[in-house]
Structure 1
Amino acid sequence: MKCAIYARVSTKREEQKNSLQNQIALAESIAKEQGFTVVERYIDNGISGSGMKNRTEILRLLDDAKKKKFDVVIAKSVSRLGRNTVNSMNTADNLERNNIRLILPEDGYDTQMCNSRLNFNLRAVLAEEENLSLSNKIKWGLKASANQGNRVVSVPPFGYRTNPVTRKLEYDESTAPIVKEIFRLYLHEGWGMFSIGNLLMRRGIPTPRAHSGSANAGQKWHQNTIKGILINEVYTGKQVFHKEETTRILAASETYKVRRKVKDEEHVVIENSHPALITEDDFNAVQELMKKKGKHKSNGKESLFSYIVKCPDCGSGMHFKPDRRKGAYVCGGYVKYTSSYCTSHIIEEKVLLQAVKDDLKSLIKDTVKIEHLYGMAEEKAVAVQSHIQKELNRIEKQLIELDKRFDNLLTLHVEGAITTDQFKHQNERNAHLQQELMNKKANLIVAIEEGKYLVERKEAFRKEVERFIDLDISDEQVLKQFLQRLIQTIEVFEDGTIKINYNLNLSNPLPSN
């Protein structure tokens, strides 16, 4: 009989006790005893057993089973088929429908010898429960660490550093004064986040990501960066853990991990865990001030090019001034800080609108021009994909390094060089860092997959431009909706030249009239 072998490990850690080599050796031994001829081996290495879509080898096995490429499958146990009851049962059903014999030696299961699936089903349920139990142990381990006030993140908040011995947060002389100044300027001096960010950039102060040495760290203090500091309770001397947690959901026979917010009463709060940089009263006052500013941020009326038109020199959004030239856009930096910061870049709305209309109409008529834009988009997409792939490779290397760290830790622990507590403490930190890297890896993989649909996006862009012919562009609301969907930004230069950046990251300079 022709025999196939299936083996799986989900992590390198599991491989210490449940190695692929051992699984394959056991299966081959049974095949030899039974007189089977091994024709194929299906190996899922480093793949979780809770889902199916990423397990390429077991999917290939099921496909080959339909093609009758083998007569029997040997796997170490039900848990190797999967740790999701539904998936494990479906796998067994698929093999049975194709008259494929299934042997699971560790569970004493053999479809040729068993008249009932009860044993298999019980083992499948136990495998899923074991997986859930392991997940909960990790969660509770991290929560217990939080209850003890231990940091479970790799990078300390801006303004602090981590003591290498106690692992507690302590005052960082180089950045803590900056945090204090941010709170003082916002609360007591009436400065806005944009103004504070510009002040820090003029001083040449590195951003939090740049200070920590993070990859792709920018040098620009964005408003969101300032806001992230202003809303962080850590600066009051307390630490708040367990704000979010990972949970599993079952959909279409697949198990997915999702992040969900935890109720406030379930947060783990450690009071006075480290030196405070600001008082509790000042922190609460800042939160109230932010709420008030948010309510009065807009009068509810937006201009035709709201959030689209920008100043290319200072990066500010252009402000619509109805009293200037019967309605014109002016550089936001110039409005706030006058000519000492930037020039006006003023352009009348009617002039800008006509320039945009003319360019869109020319796009429809000029095939060479629009194809050129598509070409630019494709070049940009290729460059972005290359950058994403490099970042993915970097993370893969870090994950491999973490696996080596675990192996080294395990060796030190076995040899008695470190205590159990030291092993657990260091392992918790590594586990948290590994989870962060896995999350980043997942996002990068999604970005790579999205990048494969450039052709579809190009076709959608073409259709949107062609629809412009049929639109009533005299209707301001219709035109506004169209512009928001089709155009990403419009840059207005001081000499009146504008540059339109379409949603495919295309650009086309044209003079205003």
Structure 2
Amino acid sequence: MYEEIKTACLYLRYSSSNQTEQSIEGQMHVCQDFCKRHNIRIVEMYIDRATSASKDIEKRVEFLKMIKDSEKGNFNAVIVYKLDRFARSRYDSATYKYRLKRNGVQLISATENITQDPEGIILESVLEGMAEFYSAELSQKINRGMRESAMKHNSIGGAIPLGYKTVDKKLVIDETTAPIVREAFQMYADGESVAEICRTFNNRGYKTSKGTRFGKSSFTKIFRNEKYIGVYKYHDYRAEDVIPPIIDKDLWDRVQVRVGKIKKAPARNKARHTYLLTGKLFCGHCGSAMNADGNSQGYLYYRCYGKKNLDKQCNKRNMEKNLIERLVAQDAMSFLTDEYIEKIATIACDRNKQEIESDSPIPVIRDRIRQVDVSLNNLLKAIETGSAPDMLVKRMGELETEKKDMEVQLKKEMAHQVYIDKEQVIFWLEKFREGDINDEEFCQTVIDLFVNSVTVWDEPDDKFKITIAYNLTSIPQKTYRLSKDGRLSDYASNTP
């Protein structure tokens, strides 16, 4: 199941002072054993101590560093002891799992079965997709405000380039560090290597804009930053001669000649391919998972893991990637009807509420408020009958104070929870009717939402028998017969 995972990082966390360093060591040993069993090389460990997984995500410094580092392509997976070490909130889990997935990184629990119940899978798929959709919507609103600042040529956040500082929101030359930039450009234009410039600057004690030692990547950014010749850019907006330049255009052009040669060097890493059925495709003959594979000629396919398992010795034929993925994606798209969209939205919202109610103190607080209301009503009835000794009046005041405190606590707890709105889910799902079968991201989302598993058998005449099971348990399985050229025949019917 994990044979395509070659490198991984470990993320370890304990959440309170009641837990000890031994908790981290125990998690580490389990995760290390898991990696050893599956021949996965550990390249990094990220450890957060005494931090919660459900609140104040910004305090989990190592967690956020891991998410950022996933962009570098140094590891294929994040291994956690249990999924709740990653995040207890499904909203946070979906958001950050989506970022990992976009970077080609898989989240794996060392102790739990990855398979989830259908309702949980539906909720996670909805949250993950909506997080992306509404994040894009929000970014558009933010960008409008940012663009207004950009039109004024103001600094709009982010790292300030070495050699500059900000005064009244404008970039101005910092004469203490600008000479470092000029020297770097001049040395590179004169033929010095980046490695030599790096050694020279570090030996002199020069620091980057972040106050750290120089590395080769530092100069990649410097030599391509047009701010140094007075150019202001924000997305598609570009204005020249609006920032005080640190170097002249002639020196810039000489450096770009060398940068251009580097830029044209052939890529060392092969392009990654997205296998849409990873974790969902199984061999009907031996029951093993069918994993992503390919050859040097660019043929991409799924291969039965039982072929490598000495106990199973399966002879299942390889399954062409595009052939099986297209069939499953088209099948999943057939469920984008009003009826099924309503069902998906109802299941997602009900499960979302259920998880919040079971994982938070909200039900206990509400129950206590109800109890206080009953007590207050009883005391009020006693007062109305004329029996109102000072003790009853005092008790009523205490209960009213307690109720107010509990209501404040309830409001705080509610603010930490994310209840999804059914109408928003329906609106988001209806957008998928306009989806493109050739768009891999769209197909991945629809498959994750509807498809639970796909099982494939070999049949005579190079045909395949394919059975699809769904996350919506009210939908009966479907079975298809598929030829190597993509034609469907015979079965193409529901299986009870």
1 or 2, which has the higher helix percentage?
A: 1
Give the TM-score normalised by the residue count of structure 2. Answer: 0.30
TM-score by length of 1: 0.29
Quick one: higher RCO (CA 8 Å, sep 6+), 1 or 2? Answer: 2
